[in-house]
Structure 1
Amino acid sequence: MEEVSVRFGWAWEPCEVTPGRRPVMEVAGINQRLIGWQSIRRQQIEDALPVLTARYEEKHGHAPGEQASYALGCQAADQTRPPKRTELLSLTKLRERWRDSAIRAYGADVIDRLAERARAVAR
């Protein structure tokens, strides 16, 4: 993180992803919507969890404890995991896809100025 800060002139800020848990450090000045744009997996797991929790409560007659909640989270992750891709893509190709997707979602002007904005906020 320190090397990236020096190399690109960025600053970092803590972001609470899960209430009550240790914050995650993110580049200052990057819009939270843009960060969340690629968080599809997390949302799929969060959408599956209430269904699994309700089934647990129906079967056991009480809310899951800490260990059971963790197990249900793992089960939700397993159930929502997409199949492995058979096509291997180079990092260059993946970056092109991510960039194109981000531009479709937010526009080229926003994406092209991300690093510039992060440096401005760091000053």
Structure 2
Amino acid sequence: MTPGRRPVMEIAGIDQRLIGWQSTRRRQIEDALPILTAEYEERQGHPPGEQAAYGLACQAADRTRSPKRKELRSLSQLRAAWRDSASRAYGADVVAGLAERARGAVAAIWARVRPVVDVSLPEH
């Protein structure tokens, strides 16, 4: 972990190819950031400090963001499109394996948590 930065968490068992498939925004920002940093250094005569570097990262994110879609899609439409895209890129077996691992993890968590609703408690 880098001091002063948020920790990066990783979910075990996620195929790295799928992670890369969904990381295009990060790559776009990482490609834009050195250009903005060089421009900053040329203007200011020194490398950016922590706050300026954060501001440059925000600028890189803003400049590389594509326009918002005009038509809204439901969550089920988005999920179907993501599944189709991932299946075309890496195979339906990779996507099905990920979905199966996720369902197994959810089942294991629910088996330990077992939520209980007590309907006899008075409302406040």
Deviation at 1:23, TM superposition (A): 3.0
Which of 20, 41, 54 is residue 70 of structure 1 equivalent to?
Answer: 54
Give structure 2 stretches of 5+ with no counterpart.
109-124
The percent identity for this pair of structures is 74
Whose radius of gyration is greater, 1 or 2? Answer: 2
Greater relative CO, 1 or 2 (CA 8 Å, sep 6+): 1
Which of 38, 43, 61 is residue 54 of structure 1 equivalent to?
Answer: 38
Q: How does 1:1-123 map to 2 (within 5 A)?
A: 20=2, 21-117=5-101, 119=104
Runs of 4+ that moved beyond 6 A: none
* Contact 2:41 2:47 survives alignment (8 Å): yes
Give structure 1 stretches of 5+ with no counterpart.
1-18
Deviation at 1:35, TM superposition (A): 1.7
CA–CA distance in 1 between the matches of 2:29 and 2:96?
A: 31
Deviation at 1:25, TM superposition (A): 3.1
| TM-score, length of structure 2 as denominator length | 0.74
Q: Report Cα offsets for 1:10-53 as digits up to 9, x if no partner.
A: xxxxxxxxx51343333321122312311111111111000000
Change (3 A) 1:94 1:116: closer
Calculate the aligned-residue CA RMSD, in Å: 2.0
CA–CA distance in 1 between the matches of 2:15 and 2:92?
A: 15
Whose strand fraction is larger, Structure 1's or Structure 2's? 1
Q: Secondary structure at the match of 1:24?
A: coil
Partner of 2:116: none
